[in-house]
Structure 1
Amino acid sequence: MDSTSAPTSNKPYRASIVWRNVAVMSILHAFALYGITIFHRLRFYSIVFACLYHFVSGLGVTAGVHRLWSHRCYRATRPLRVFLMLANSIAMQNSIYVWVRDHRVHHKYTETSADPHDAKRGFFFSHIGWLLVRKHPDVIQYGKQIDLSDIENDPVVMFQHRHYTAISLFMSFVLPTVLPVVLWNENAWTAYFCVGVVRYLYTLHSTWLVNSAAHMWGMRPYDKTIQPRENYFVSWFSLGEGFHNYHHVFPFDYRTSEFGSGIFNLTTGFIETCVRLGLASHCRRPTDETIKRRIERTGNISLAN
């Protein structure tokens, strides 16, 4: 899906700040900082629940909207798709439909004016800044040309898209606040700020590191001509999405890495477990020979490059 036939825009463009988004993100980060100061008040069960809730929401991004819906790396039964849709709603990173559109245009026009989070515009922009300004006209123009017919024909995806705000607010903030209160008598205030807000911001930044750090620091063993890098730090936080040079070379691989499952790629282990349970099938991957030939042709193992 990557393309070197990238647009070179001659359109005059000056980033226009979306102050509503700035306000929302500022408030969320202020709430998260406050939540960190009272995190010690959480009951043990709430801490465990927050970690598990983060893991589930992460799978909604990695195994769900990224590997399943954006790249069609494998097939999933409807029960698994519903689970991943709800998990993705916990992550609350826009609807699956919008996320897929932006991600497909990112792959096709990586680090050009049509890339929604172009890393060439700096760490801050590719990490969070792109959400605080209006999109470059090229992002909108080329985004409209992306084929989304497969997504539009998925009733699970379109149901979430139609009811995204209600579903995501309930899954991301209401449920993680109410459940600890009801099940083990957690303080509602503490549950909201810690299990709700802190956990949500942690998941957001873990995902954003793929757009920023994994495009700036690390090795390029598969294609030295592109910016995405292999970054174990990012892989740890993003459940296996930091092997980014490999992923941009072989975006259809359900593993996003040739190393398989493990502590740095828990998402692959999840998908393979779903295959064993009959919930997933048709996992795509390149042959070992194909990977080897690509390394020999375009790779570079230098840490500096």
Structure 2
Amino acid sequence: MKTEDTERPLRTPVVLKKLILVVSVHLIAIRALFLLHKLHVGTLLFGALCYQLAGLGITAGAHRLWSHRSYKAKLPLRIFLALMSCAAWQIPILQWARDHRTHHKFTDTDADPHNATRGLFFSHFGSIICQKHDDVVTKGKTISVDDLLADPVVRIQKRFFIPGALFMCIILPTWIPYYCWNESLIYSYYATVLRYCLTMNAAFAVNSFAHWAGSKPYDRTITPADNEVVALITMGEGFHNYHHAFPQDYSTSELGIKWNPTKVFIDVMAYLGQVYDRKSTPKHHIEARKNRNAKSAHLHLQ
């Protein structure tokens, strides 16, 4: 008779090249921390700007626009967000959105690419450096991405992702401080890698810390939680319990602009005519969900 462990292996092979990349980025970033006092103030400000822009490629682009279709965007904005997705240098939008849709449909199971039940380290780093569980691959193939394939921006970004990411994430941000205010080229490179490392960890924090700590006012039965610290470093992505309860809400929270610069960005783009058909959740639906969740919690304690 098979045991649960043999039916559900929790150890998956580490992909060596991914492990080397992640470790290398962190080692360079640690070195960069000791050089911060030597950097030109322009380099520091530029790094902060790049952090925000690359973040938008994930939050407003790969996540809220392409994964959830929580709003629609015109071509110029889609091109900009695709470029910023390259600046974040994770994976192509097509793969990112497929994995994220799989994460929502199969949350906290072996088919969840970031399965939080496998521990904090796995959901933060392990899911990136390890080979995907067979269930992720099998059930991921059942997720429709026809809408993504119909978008030429997504198709082109996938085709040229590696050179695009190398240029937008590393080469251009390293060159600009060197050329514009005579920053040392090596210092500029270190600052760029540090920013990339921070962007990487902020994105991973949604999969890990926002499934580990926080409040669950909308659904107490799942691991995703509203974590304000994660929201602060991810431009509004940390309200994860709300997001899993109402995944197609473009604001991903009911707190308006509080800790949610991505919502502000989308609203500004709507004012400029680049965004339309923003989806939001009616207030009475939110309150009804919260009341049901509270009653469920009360019954559970009795």
TM-score by length of 1: 0.93
> Does residue 80 of the first structure (1) align with residue 77 of the second (2)?
yes
Contact 2:215 2:225 in 1 (8 A): yes
Q: Deviations over 1:110-161 (max 9, x none)?
A: 0100001101000000001111111100000001110000000100011010
2:7 is paired with a residue whose SS is: coil
- Give CA-to-partner distance per residue, 1:149-178, whole Å, 9 cap, x none: 000010001101000000000000000111
Who is 1:211 aligned against? 207
Q: Is the 8 A contact 1:224 1:300 kept in 2?
A: no
Residue 54 (1) aligns with residue 51 (2):
yes
Q: How far did 1:11 drift?
A: 5.6
In structure 2, how many angstroms separate the alpha carbons of the residues matched to 1:160 and 1:286? 31
Is the 2:108–2:222 contact (alpha carbons within 8 Å) kept by the matching residues of 1?
Answer: no
Unaligned runs of 5+ residues in structure 1 are 1-8
Q: Which amino acid is 1:179 matched to? A: I
What pairs with 1:117-196 in structure 2 (closer than 5 Å)? 117-194=114-191, 196=192
Q: Which of 19, 22, 40 is equivalent to 1:25?
A: 22
State yes or no: 1:43 paired with 2:47: no
**Equivalent position of 2:278 in the other structure:** 283
Mapped pair 1:110 → 2:110:
no
Aligned to 1:5: none
Alignment match, 2:3:
none
Distance 2:42 2:21 in 1: 29
Q: What is residue 266 of structure 2 aligned with on the other side? A: 271
Equivalents in 2 of 1:283, 1:237: separation in Å?
24
Matched residue SS, 1:99 = helix
More helix by share: 2
Match 2:243 to one of 240, 247, 255: 247
CA distance in 2, matches of 1:160, 1:72: 18
Q: 1:300 to 1:42 in 2, by over 3 A?
A: farther
Q: Note if contact 2:79-2:153 (Cα within 8 Å) is conserved in structure 1.
A: yes
Q: Supply the distance in 1 between the matched residues of 2:60 and 2:263 (Cα, whole angstroms).
A: 8
CA RMSD, Structure 1 to Structure 2 (Å): 1.7
Alpha-carbon distance in 2 for matches of 1:253, 1:18? 35
List per-residue Cα deviations over 1:164-204 (Å, max 9, x = no partner).
0000000000001111111111110000011x100000001
Q: Describe the shift of the 1:239–1:76 C-alpha distance in structure 2 as closer, same or farther (beyond 3 A).
A: same
Query: 2:218 maps to which residue?
Result: 222
Which amino acid counterpart does residue 53 of structure 1 have in structure 2?
Answer: C
Counterpart of 2:128, as a letter, is L
CA distance in 2, matches of 1:301, 1:122: 26
Match of 2:195 in 1: 199
Answer yes or no: is 1:233 the counterpart of 2:229: yes
> In the aligned structure 1, how far is the partner of 2:295 from the partner of 2:39?
47
Using the aligned pairs only, state the percent identity.
Answer: 42
Distance 1:299 1:56, change over 3 A: farther
Could you tell me whether the CA contact under 8 Å between 2:178 and 2:188 is conserved in 1? yes
When structure 1 is superposed on structure 2, of 13-22 and 207-216 the one drifting more is: 13-22
How far off its partner does 1:14 sit? Answer: 3.7
Q: Deviations over 1:58-97 (max 9, x none)?
A: 0110000000000000000000000101111100010101
State the alpha-carbon separation in 2 of the partners of residues 300 and 97 from structure 1. 39
Instruction: Letter of the 1:165 partner, please give it.
Output: I
